[in-house]
Structure 1
Amino acid sequence: MRWWTTGVVAMLAGCGQADEAPPPANPTRDEPVLPMASPTPETLVTIPTRFVGTWDSDGAACGAPAPGPNRLVVAAGALRIADRDVPVRGITVADAGAVDVDVIGDRGGITEQRRYRLALGSGGSLEMTGVDGAVRLLRCDAPAGAEAAARNAVALNLAPDGLQTVAGASSRTLAFGTPADIVLRVVEAATQTIPQRSTNADCGEGPLDIATYPRIAIYFQQGRFVGWSARGRGLTTMAGVGIGSKRAAVEAVIEAPVEDTSLGRAFTSGGLSGVYDARDNVSALWAGSACIAR
């Protein structure tokens, strides 16, 4: 049955294997050159919640009574393109919060495997990339998508030695030293956003790679999680300390001596550091290596 037509469907392409890297020139006779092992992408059981929902090319297409060629419905373990269900064979983590979804389709009576890359774009759009390029789709079901995200929400808490997450009845600690890719995926799931990436080469502790989210900046060094700094209200420690907290409330839950520094009236408690403004509200909060001079 022939159902690979136009629009998003036309982007499907075969998933070829990457060529092995050529051996270095002039290998010694005593040291045989072996092909380098390619890193194995992390596999996922389901498509991440941020991609789940109904997508189409624009508002008019979303409101059409019948799905057009660019209609894409993403479920946790399945895709529907136009009016056809596409079996999913595998889901793997890609770069910068994207995922690769391998599917099986029938083309002219021949079963073929295809791969889509799903990535969030600007304004909450979805970019779906294949061998023919990328197609930008808009979410048709923002309320339903928001409800799905809320049901699967990961709560993020600040901690003196890293970050803590709570999902349902389970909690998890992301301690300093955790590999960067693990921390990025967890924080992305908690915030439902893709970070802006940058590097600060002028830190006393050495260059730091920075992932900046709306409410927190995460710092990495040599591929490891080394620090965080809060950005605006919203995130707190398990004890409730966060940007905007009153000094009295802070000192009621932790021992945090105050000293005058170049940053102002700063306090520390274990690995947690912060600054009070003129009204005794917490105006800055960080832990670990965050390139904040004192």
Structure 2
Amino acid sequence: MRKLAILTLVALLAACKPAADPAGEDRSVPTAPPMPEAKADGPNAASTAVSLDGEGLRFVDKTSGKTSLLAFGVPRAQAETALANVAGQADDRSTNEECGAGPLDFTRFDAMTLNFQDGKFVGWFLGNEPGASAYSTVSGIAIGTTRAQAKQSVAIVDIEDSTLGEEFSIGGGANGVGGMFAEPGDAAKIDALFAGVNCFFR
């Protein structure tokens, strides 16, 4: 009887022993995939630059310097085609029914998002993402520009008590370009730029 009890205890202890790790099991911490490179492979990418403008997007011929404005108010298809000719195929389309300005539709090209309302181009938003370096204002303001650098070429108007953070506008006015610095101070870099109608909740 004593021998049977000992054998039973041994069996129970063996059952409680944790199983050995499978041979060769990879227990390394997973890492995030690398950010994809921006495309910028539209048919006109080599000859045309896109400048940020408070009234839309301005397309600049790299050889002659001539510009043409893609103005807010043009049909969605026209705006999408114009940017695709430089930036390449759009990444995605989406809709937000709850924007402060009313329902908005969006078409994203890497870091640049075009905003539409009732089928019309009404705004743009440039984030700090791959592809952002392809865009700047005519005065050279871009993602990554510091506050000190921006002040050397344009008037930076801080938006007091903004719920968006370190918000500012360039020159002020209804048709200006707005943006956000990543933090306070002259060394802070621009983290976003925008114009027209955007999906902000203030």
Q: Distance in 2 between matches of 1:173 and 1:226?
A: 13
Partner AA of 1:289 in structure 2? V
Per the alignment, residue 263 of structure 1 pairs with 164
Per the alignment, residue 189 of structure 1 pairs with 85
- Note if contact 1:154-1:189 (Cα within 8 Å) is conserved in structure 2: no
Q: Could you give the per-residue CA deviations for residues 96-129 of structure 1, whole angstroms, max 9, x where no partner exists?
A: xxxxxxxxxxxxxxxxxxxxxxxxxxx9xxxxxx
SS at match of 1:199: strand
Per the alignment, residue 97 of structure 2 pairs with 201
> Which residue among 222, 227, 238 is the counterpart of 2:123?
227
Residue 290 of structure 1 deviates from its aligned partner by 1.1
Alignment of 1:73-92 (within 5 A): none
Query: RMSD value over aligned CA atoms?
Result: 2.0
Q: Could you give the per-residue CA deviations for residues 188-241 of structure 1, whole angstroms, max 9, x where no partner exists?
A: 011022231011111111111100111200001111110000022311111111
- Note if contact 2:45-2:85 (Cα within 8 Å) is conserved in structure 1: no
Q: Could you give the per-residue CA deviations for residues 31-73 of structure 1, whole angstroms, max 9, x where no partner exists?
A: xxxxxxxxxxxxxxxxxxxxxxxxxxxxxxxxxxxxxxxxxxx
Partner AA of 1:275 in structure 2? M
> Which residue among 182, 191, 195 is the counterpart of 1:277?
182
Distance 1:192 1:162, change over 3 A: same
Per the alignment, residue 238 of structure 1 pairs with 138
> Do residues 251 (structure 1) and 140 (structure 2) align?
no
Q: Distance in 2 between matches of 1:207 and 1:217?
A: 15
Structure 1 or 2, whichever has the larger Rg, is 2
Q: Distance in 2 between matches of 1:195 and 1:171?
A: 26
SS at match of 2:136: coil
Q: Distance in 2 between matches of 1:174 and 1:293?
A: 26
Per the alignment, residue 28 of structure 2 pairs with none
> Which residue among 169, 174, 179 is the counterpart of 2:70?
174
Q: Distance in 1 between matches of 2:75 and 2:108?
A: 17
Q: Distance in 1 between matches of 2:152 and 2:165?
A: 21
Partner AA of 2:60 in structure 1? V
- Note if contact 1:155-1:190 (Cα within 8 Å) is conserved in structure 2: yes
Per the alignment, residue 164 of structure 1 pairs with 58
> Do residues 293 (structure 1) and 201 (structure 2) align?
yes
- Note if contact 2:166-2:181 (Cα within 8 Å) is conserved in structure 1: yes
Q: Larger % of strand: which?
A: 1
Q: Distance in 1 between matches of 2:155 and 2:44?
A: 36
Alignment of 1:62-211 (within 5 A): 151=46, 153-167=47-61, 168-169=63-64, 170-211=66-107
Partner AA of 1:292 in structure 2? F
Partner AA of 1:200 in structure 2? N
Consecutive unaligned residues in structure 2, runs of 5 or more = 1-35
- Note if contact 2:101-2:198 (Cα within 8 Å) is conserved in structure 1: no
Q: Distance in 2 between matches of 1:166 and 1:286?
A: 19
Q: Distance in 1 between matches of 2:95 and 2:56?
A: 20
Q: Could you give the per-residue CA deviations for residues 248-287 of structure 1, whole angstroms, max 9, x where no partner exists?
A: 1212222121134222121113321111122411112111
Higher relative contact order (CA 8 A, sep 6+): 2
Residue 150 of structure 1 deviates from its aligned partner by 5.1
Partner AA of 1:223 in structure 2? G
- Note if contact 2:56-2:70 (Cα within 8 Å) is conserved in structure 1: yes
